[in-house]
Amino acid sequence: MTDFAARRRTMVDTQIRPSDVTKFPIIDAMLSVRRENFVPDAQREAAYVEGLLDLGNGRCLLEPRTLAKMLDALNISNDEVVLDIAPAMGYSTAVAAKMAQLVVAVEEDEELATEAQTVLMEADADNAIVHVGPLEQGATEHGPYDVILIQGGVEHVPDALLAQLKDHGRIACLFMDGELGTVRIGHKSGERVTWRHAFNANAPVLRAFSTDRVFSL
């Protein structure tokens, strides 16, 4: 039988801590959330590998390092409401739920959303909600949000999504320019979001956040 608990410890010790992520809530969440339960059964053995985990149809599970560094930069507190966009089966939602008051996951794939809801319930993530709908539209009924996370690459962020961010809220996005990716943290003040570079990473661009999608509307 695979010792997934040992693999989680190895992931944290070899991927998370060496990336200068040391905040206890993040380390604790990534040690306790069973990542292997948030991937298709055929990929459970690959759940803790370093790198992206391809879920098909242009979707992926971000590298553990990338998610951890995003959370580190966002510095979520336990009285905050988080919007998690494109979490697939909900791993990022479960991790963020260990730190936040409430996490609203937006998933447009109904099958993935159903699986996410089931696995989150099994993980006792009682402060997580799965909303089914277009990724770029967010979930206005549960907002505004203190923090927004997007689980995949973006080429643009729609104003409709930024409008759901509270004044003084934060958003983490992995902006892709060809093969090069940069995670930027946006801080909202009034109607303006100011972006700063955080670190380099890579992920496939989500269709909902591609430039081609914008031009096609």
Q: Is-contact 185 162, C-beta < 8 A?
A: no
- pLDDT category, 57, cuts 50, 70, 90? confident
* Distance separating alpha carbons of residues 96 and 63, to the nearest angstrom: 15
The pLDDT of 39-65, averaged and rounded, is: 92
Residue 216 predicted with pLDDT over 70: no
pLDDT tens per residue, range 116-162: 999 999 999 999 999 999 999 999 999 999 999 999 999 999 999 99
Residue 16 predicted with pLDDT over 50: yes
Tokens 């991927």, residue located: 15
Closest CA to 127 of 76, 61, 185, 162: 76
The pLDDT of 64-83, averaged and rounded, is: 98
- Between helix 24-32 and helix 64-74 the angle, nearest 10°, is 140
Concatenated DSSP letters of the chain: ---HHHHHHHHIIIIIGGGT---HHHHHHHHHS-GGGGS-GGGGGGTT-SS-EEEETTEEEPPHHHHHHHHHHHT--TT-EEEEE--TTTHHHHHHHTTSSEEEEEES-HHHHHHHHHHHHHTT-TTEEEEES-GGG--GGG--EEEEEEEEEES---HHHHTTEEEEEEEEEEEEETTEEEEEEEEEETTEEEEEEEEE---PBPGGG-HHHHHH-
Structure tokens at 152: 């995949």
Q: Show Cβ contacts of residue 158 under 8 Å, excluding neighbours closer than 6 positions.
A: 136, 209
Q: What is the pLDDT of residue 214?
A: 47
Q: What is the pLDDT of residue 217?
A: 46
- pLDDT category, 213, cuts 50, 70, 90? low
Residue 202 predicted with pLDDT over 80: yes
